């Protein structure tokens, strides 16, 4: 099947592959319309061989149905679910920028860490998106019970304009929408799992809070405190490793921020922040209680300097 030719017939011109994985890939594309209308979009495709497997096909469709109504400035939007032959695809918002993992790698390369206030700002924007998703209801007002379960730097996009957006709800949990094997398999990226995910327990929104804590700690320190040489060691660290004093590890982290990160990483979920809104409030009070703090524009200026070679 000539995918490019068929996409052209439905008014999408595939330009290049943005990312590729075992089960699918994401392309940048031009959506064509009448009178020279053109919009740059991202197209996520599931490979034909996986489309034939019920689990993968149903989860891909479930992800599209789930995110279709998640319309928020801090979540990558999905516009359309389609099918060509036996191959499913999603048309999504294209974020012209990079992911947080790439920003971390760029800093590690130069032996630097992200400025503290900008690190906190990035995570606060993810909390805004999570708070919206966690509180999303269906058309009858019933809580969907969305848990992302895969909050990690690769799934956090930053646009050149400084917008921060959470993406990839492919293994999210939501009532009646997503294939779910909680209690049987571990879902998520090993070094960003919550303790309950490691133990294959049923999760709620507090699992995403723990992952936010891991991401925030990594932005502050430049390293993931739980990551081991292999998954089993990483899992054991998440379950048992003493949580360090972040102020001792990096003296520029004050006690207030140390307390925020530490509370995110409480293994007892009842001791964590109970909602993304609660964590968001703490982060924003930290950022803005003394006056003017970080903004999208400030983040944009900073990342354009960090990626000066790519931005130009």
Q: Hey, which residues are catalytic here?
A: 150
Place of tokens 């379950």: 239
Of 225, 209, 214, residue with least CA distance to 280: 209
Question: Phi and psi of 92, rounded to 5°?
Answer: -130, 165
Both tokens of residue 92?
């999504």
Question: Phi and psi of 77, rounded to 5°?
Answer: -85, 150
**62 vs 175: CA distance, rounded Å:** 10
**175 vs 128: CA distance, rounded Å:** 21
Alpha-helical runs (H) found in the chain: 3-9, 48-51, 54-68, 100-109, 116-134, 195-198, 206-221, 231-240, 246-249, 255-264, 276-288, 296-306, 308-311
- The answer to whether the beta carbons of residues 167 and 75 sit under 8 Å apart is yes
**63 vs 60: CA distance, rounded Å:** 5
């Amino acid at each position: 099947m000539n995918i490019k030719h068929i996409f052209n017939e439905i008014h999408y011109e595939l330009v290049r592959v943005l990312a590729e994985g075992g089960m699918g890939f994401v392309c940048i594309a031009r959506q064509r319309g009448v009178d020279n209308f053109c919009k740059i979009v991202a197209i996520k495709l599931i490979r034909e061989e996986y489309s034939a497997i019920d689990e993968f096909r149903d989860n891909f469709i479930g992800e599209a149905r789930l995110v279709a109504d998640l319309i928020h400035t801090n979540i990558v939007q999905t516009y359309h679910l389609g099918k060509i032959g036996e191959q499913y695809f999603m048309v999504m918002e294209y974020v012209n920028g990079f992911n947080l993992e790439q920003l971390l790698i760029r800093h590690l390369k130069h032996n630097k860490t992200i400025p503290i206030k900008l690190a906190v700002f990035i995570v606060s924007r993810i909390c805004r998106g999570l708070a919206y998703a966690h509180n999303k209801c269906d058309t009858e007002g019933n809580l969907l019970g969305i848990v992302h379960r895969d909050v990690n730097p690769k799934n956090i996009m930053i646009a050149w304009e400084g917008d921060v957006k959470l993406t990839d709800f492919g293994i999210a949990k939501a009532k009646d929408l997503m294939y779910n094997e909680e209690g049987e398999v571990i879902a998520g990226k090993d070094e960003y799992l919550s303790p309950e995910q490691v133990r294959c327990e049923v999760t709620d929104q507090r699992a995403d809070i723990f992952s936010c804590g891991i991401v925030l700690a990594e932005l502050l320190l430049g390293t993931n405190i739980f990551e081991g040489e292999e998954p089993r060691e990483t899992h054991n660290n998440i379950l048992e490793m003493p949580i360090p004093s972040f102020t001792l590890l990096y003296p520029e982290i004050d006690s207030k921020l140390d307390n925020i990160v530490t509370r995110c990483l409480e293994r007892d979920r009842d001791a964590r922040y109970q909602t993304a809104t609660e964590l968001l409030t703490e982060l924003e009070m930290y950022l803005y209680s003394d006056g003017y703090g970080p903004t999208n524009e400030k983040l944009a200026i900073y990342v354009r300097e960090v990626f000066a070679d790519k931005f130009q």
